[in-house]
Structure 1
Amino acid sequence: MRNSGFGTLYWAGRVAPHLVIFAALITLWEIAVAQGWITSIMIPRPSKIGVAIANLYVIKGTIWEHFFITLGEAVFGFLIGAVVAILLALFSSLSERFERYVSPYAVVLNVTPGIALTPLIIAWFGYGMGSKIALAAVICFFPIFVNTLTGLRQMDPDREELFRSLGASDRQVFFKARVPAALPLMFAGMKIGLTTALIGAVVAEFAQATAGVGVLMARASFQLDMAGSLAALLSMTLMGLLLFYGMELLDDRVVFWRREARMSSVSRAKARAWMARRGQKDEKKNMGGETK
C-alpha cells in the first residue's frame, strides 16, 4: 500500500506539470482569439472546437461511422503491407541474391510520393475501400521491410555460436535465435508503419471518398467550419494514438524480455505454471501408487 501511494504521487508529479502547461496554452489561445490578436476565421476558439467535438461524438454522433471506416482501412492496409514486408524481409535475409532483386523495387516504392500514387491506385482499385486499403499498404510497407531485414541481419555471433555448440540446425538458429533477436526492430518498424498506414488511408479519402474522417475534415474545410475541421483532425490524432499504443502494448507482451518488470512478471507466471503441472504429476503418481 505504501509503495502504491508513492507510485501515485510519482506519476501525479510527472503528469501535473504537463496539465498545467496545456491549460495555460489553451487559456492563452482563448484570450488571443477573444481579443482579436488571432483571426477567428482561421483559428477558432478552443471552446468552439470543444463544442464541435461534442457535436461529433455525443450530440449528433456523426463521427462514429466515419471513425471506424478510416480505422478499418488503416488496419487492413497495415496488415497486408506488414505481411508482405515481413515475408520479403525473411526471404531477403536468407538469400543475398533475392535481396538484390527485391531491395531496389522497395526503395523505388518508398521514394515515390504516396500522394502521387493516389490517382493510379484509385483507377486500379476503384472508389471504394479497396483503394484506401491499397494505398495504406503501399505506404506502410517500406519501414517494416527495412527494420525487419536490419534486425534479421544483426545476429549476435556469440549467441549463434552457442546455438551451434548445442547442436541446433540452421532452421532452429534462424527461428529461435535470429527471429527473436529481430523482434524489437520489427516492432519499431510496425509502429511507424501503422501510423503511416493511417496517413495513406486519409490521403486516399481526401482524393476521393464518400465516408471517413478525412471526408468529414474536407467537408468542414470547404464550408469554412474551422472548428469542425480541427475536431476531425483531433479525431485522426486520437486514432493514431490508439493504433500506436495498441502496437506498443503488443510489443510489451511479445518482446517482454526488454523490460525488467515485464520479464519478472512473465518469469513468475511461468514458474507458477510449472509448479502447478509438477503438482498435478505428483498427484497422479500418488493416486497410481494408492491404486496398486
Structure 2
Amino acid sequence: MADTSTQDRDNIWFARAMGVLPHIMLFLGLLAAWEIAVRTGIITSIIIPPPSKIVAAIWMLYVSQGTIYKHFFITFTEAVVGFGIGAGVAISLAVASALSERFKTYVSPYAIVLNVTPGIALTPIIIAWFGFGMGSKIALAAIISFFPIFVNTLSGLLQRDEDREELFRSLGATHFKVFLNLRVPSALPLMFAGLKIGLTTALIGAVVAEFTQATDGVGVLMSRFSFQLNMAASLATLLSMTLIGLILFYSMEFLDDRIVFWRRETRRAAASRAKARRWEASYARKLVMV
C-alpha cells in the first residue's frame, strides 16, 4: 500500500513536470531569439538590451554591489504599511456599512469619489501634505488600495442566504451572532479577492509616488538608470518590482488558502483531520485523568 501511494505521488510529480516543461522551453526559446535579434542588430541594444546584459545587471544589483536591498526594503515597507492602513480603514467602513444602511448611504458616495479620482493626480497634493519621506508614499498606497478592498468586503457582507439565517435564528442566534458566524465567513472569499487587488495596487501607489519625488526606493533607482540610458539595469530593477509584487500577492494567496480553507477540498480534509486529532488527544487526556 505504501509503495503504491509513493508511486502515485511520483506519477503526479512527473505529470506536473511534463506539464511545465513546454512553458520552460517556450520561455528559453524566446530569450534565445531575443538575444540573437539584439546581437545581429535587428533590435537596437540601446533601447532593448539583450537578456545576457540584464542578467549581468541583476548580478550587479544583488551580488557584486548589492545596491538593490536598501531600495527593495523601502518600497516593500511603503507598500505593506500603506496596504495595512488602507485595508484597516476599508474593512472597518465596509463592516459599518453592512450593519447600517444609513451609514452606507453617507459613506458610499465619498468612496466612489475617491476611486474615480486618478491616483497620479493626487500625488503632488499628497507629497505637499506628507512631505518627501516615506509618509507620502504610504499615504498614496493606502488611498489607492482602499476602494477594491472596501467594495469587495461590502459586497460579500451584503450577500445574504435567507435559509441559513433562518436556521441560525431558529437556534436562538442573535443578529450579531448571525453576522459574525454566518455573513462574515461567507464574505471572506470576496474580501480576500479585494485584499489581493489592494495589495498589488498599494505597490503601484508607492512606486508612482517614488517616481514623482523620492530619494530612495526601487522606483527612484529605476528612474536613475533610465536617465543614464542604462536600460539593462533599469529592466533589472523593473524585475525587482515584479518580485516585490509576487511576494506580496503569494503571501496573501497563502493566507487565503489557510483562512478560507473550506473552498478547497484538500485543505478542508486536512483541517478536518487536524480537528479530529485534537479531539482524540483531548479525549485521551480526559481518560488518563479519570
The TM-score with structure 2 as length reference comes to: 0.97
Aligned pair partner of 2:273 in 268, 277, 286: 268
Aligned pair partner of 2:78 in 57, 73, 79: 73
Partners in 2 of 1:96 and 1:271 — Cα distance?
Answer: 41
Partners in 2 of 1:187 and 1:45 — Cα distance?
Answer: 39
Q: Secondary structure at the match of 2:24?
A: helix
Aligned pair partner of 2:139 in 130, 134, 138: 134
Per-residue CA shift, 1:92-113, capped at 9, x if unaligned?
A: 0111111111111111111111
Per-residue CA shift, 1:102-135, capped at 9, x if unaligned?
A: 1111111111110100000000001110000000
Per-residue CA shift, 1:22-47, capped at 9, x if unaligned?
A: 00110111111111111111100010
1:200 lines up with 2:205 in the alignment: yes
1:242 aligned partner:
247
CA RMSD of aligned residues (A): 0.6
Aligned pair partner of 1:258 in 243, 247, 263: 263
Q: Secondary structure at the match of 1:103?
A: helix
Per-residue CA shift, 1:182-216, capped at 9, x if unaligned?
A: 00000000000000000000001001111110011
Aligned pair partner of 1:284 in 261, 276, 289: 289
1:34 lines up with 2:66 in the alignment: no
Structure 1: runs of 5+ lacking an equivalent: 286-292
Per-residue CA shift, 1:226-254, capped at 9, x if unaligned?
A: 00110000000011001000000000000
Partners in 1 of 2:191 and 2:269 — Cα distance?
Answer: 23
Partners in 1 of 2:89 and 2:188 — Cα distance?
Answer: 16
Q: Secondary structure at the match of 2:15?
A: helix
* Counterpart amino acid of residue 227 in structure 1: A
Partners in 1 of 2:46 and 2:10 — Cα distance?
Answer: 47
Aligned pair partner of 1:186 in 191, 197, 210: 191
1:106 lines up with 2:111 in the alignment: yes
Structure 2: runs of 5+ lacking an equivalent: 1-5
Partners in 1 of 2:172 and 2:232 — Cα distance?
Answer: 65
1:47 aligned partner:
52
Q: CA deviation at 1:155?
A: 1.7
1:173 aligned partner:
178
1:120 aligned partner:
125
Deviation >4 Å, runs of 4+ = none
Partners in 1 of 2:36 and 2:274 — Cα distance?
Answer: 54
Identity of counterpart residues, as a percentage?
A: 68
Partners in 2 of 1:199 and 1:10 — Cα distance?
Answer: 37
* Counterpart amino acid of residue 122 in structure 1: I
1:154 lines up with 2:159 in the alignment: yes
* Counterpart amino acid of residue 168 in structure 1: A
2:9 aligned partner:
4
Q: Secondary structure at the match of 1:42?
A: coil
Q: CA deviation at 1:8?
A: 1.1
Residue-pair matches, total = 285
